[in-house]
């Protein structure tokens, strides 16, 4: 009888331990996954639009390591992303993504936000939501320093010029406002446009003022042209905001954090970004 009881006790204890082990594993997994998800703020950017964002080889000047990459990202957008992540109490994760892939990455859940010098255009608002504006600037043209279009003051001075802009941006569409322009095929990114300008493939490209300042500061052969008679744009076109998923609970929190960054601080962050940008060809 004692042998039977002992055997039953052993079996009972074994079953209880097994069940307890399963329960512990299940609870552990259920708590770890959400904690990991809640602990990070994944930001998508192309890391190729200085001074808003760029790629560098180390953590100098506040660079943040790119997820799954040996390189780092720096620039105005990265500094804003740091402030937002800190305000959310999360660890910033930079996900380097091609421009055309940013919105799909956001809608698929691969990233939590787009902080990439993106304008909250009406077309984009059909697919994603945006925060309040965190930067605003005018459109300019980047040309060869000392070249034919160096002294332009109106967009109409570019009649016959070979002009382009980045693919899938409103920058490309405004080129049509120039009468008689030789509108070239849109290019994937700004480094490619800078190379094309340097080599004479194009006479200029449309950009926003910070990038124009960046280009001329990085390469003495480039000049930024600002206009008295410039492009006609909507307020949203020249504004820059954080892209988030439709109905995201992050939107009001991000807006609150952005409201805490003064205009003076934003200007200082941009000036520092222009100063710290990597040399560009």
Pair (153, 218) in one structural domain: yes
Whole-prediction pTM value? 0.75
Residue 103 has pLDDT above 90, yes or no: yes
Quick: pLDDT tens for 137-168: 889 999 999 999 999 999 999 999 999 999 99
Rounded distance between C-alpha atoms, residue 68 and residue 134, angstroms: 28
Number of domains, the chain = 2
Is there a single domain that holds both residue 132 and residue 218?
Answer: no
- The answer to the question of residue 231 being in a domain is no
Based on the fold, state whether residues 67 and 107 are members of the same structural domain.
Answer: yes
Instruction: Answer whether residue 1 is part of any domain.
Output: no
Question: pLDDT tens digits for 215-265?
Answer: 998 899 999 999 988 999 988 888 999 999 999 999 999 999 999 999 999
103 with 179, same domain: the answer is no
* Same domain for 259 and 214: no
Both 127 and 154 in a single domain?
Answer: no
Asked whether residue 267 is assigned to any structural domain, the reply reads: yes
179 and 254 co-located in one domain: no
CATH number, domain containing residue 51: 3.40.190.10
Q: What is the mean pLDDT of residues 116-132?
A: 95
pLDDT tens sequence across 9-33: 444 444 444 344 444 333 333 333 3
Query: Is 171 in the same domain as 130?
Result: no
CA 56 to chain centre: 15
Structural domain including 194 reads 139-225
């Amino acid at each position: 009888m004692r042998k039977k009881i002992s055997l039953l006790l052993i079996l009972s204890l074994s079953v209880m331990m097994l069940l307890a082990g399963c329960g512990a594993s299940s609870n552990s997994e259920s708590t770890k996954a959400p904690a990991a998800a809640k602990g990070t703020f994944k930001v998508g950017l192309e890391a190729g639009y200085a001074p808003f964002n760029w790629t560098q080889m180390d953590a100098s000047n506040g660079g943040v390591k790119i997820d799954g990459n040996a390189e780092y990202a720096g620039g105005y957008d990265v500094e804003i992303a740091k402030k937002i992540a800190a305000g959310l109490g999360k660890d910033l994760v930079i996900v380097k993504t091609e421009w055309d892939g940013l919105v799909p990455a956001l809608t698929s859940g691969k990233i939590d936000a787009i902080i990439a010098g993106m304008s909250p255009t009406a077309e984009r608002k059909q697919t994603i939501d945006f925060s309040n504006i965190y930067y605003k600037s005018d459109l300019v043209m980047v040309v060869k320093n000392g070249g034919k279009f160096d002294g332009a003051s109106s967009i109409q001075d570019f009649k016959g010029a070979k002009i382009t802009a980045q693919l899938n941006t409103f920058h490309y569409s405004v080129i049509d406002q120039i009468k008689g322009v030789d509108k070239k095929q849109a290019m994937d990114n700004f480094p490619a446009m800078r190379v094309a300008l340097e080599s004479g493939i194009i006479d200029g490209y449309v950009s926003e003022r910070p990038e124009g300042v960046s280009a001329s500061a990085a390469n003495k052969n480039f000049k930024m042209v600002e206009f008295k008679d410039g492009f006609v744009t909507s307020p949203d076109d020249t504004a820059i905001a954080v892209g988030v998923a439709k109905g995201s609970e992050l939107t009001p929190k991000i807006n609150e954090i952005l409201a805490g960054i003064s205009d003076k601080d934003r200007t200082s962050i941009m000036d520092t970004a222009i100063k710290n940008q990597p040399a560009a060809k």
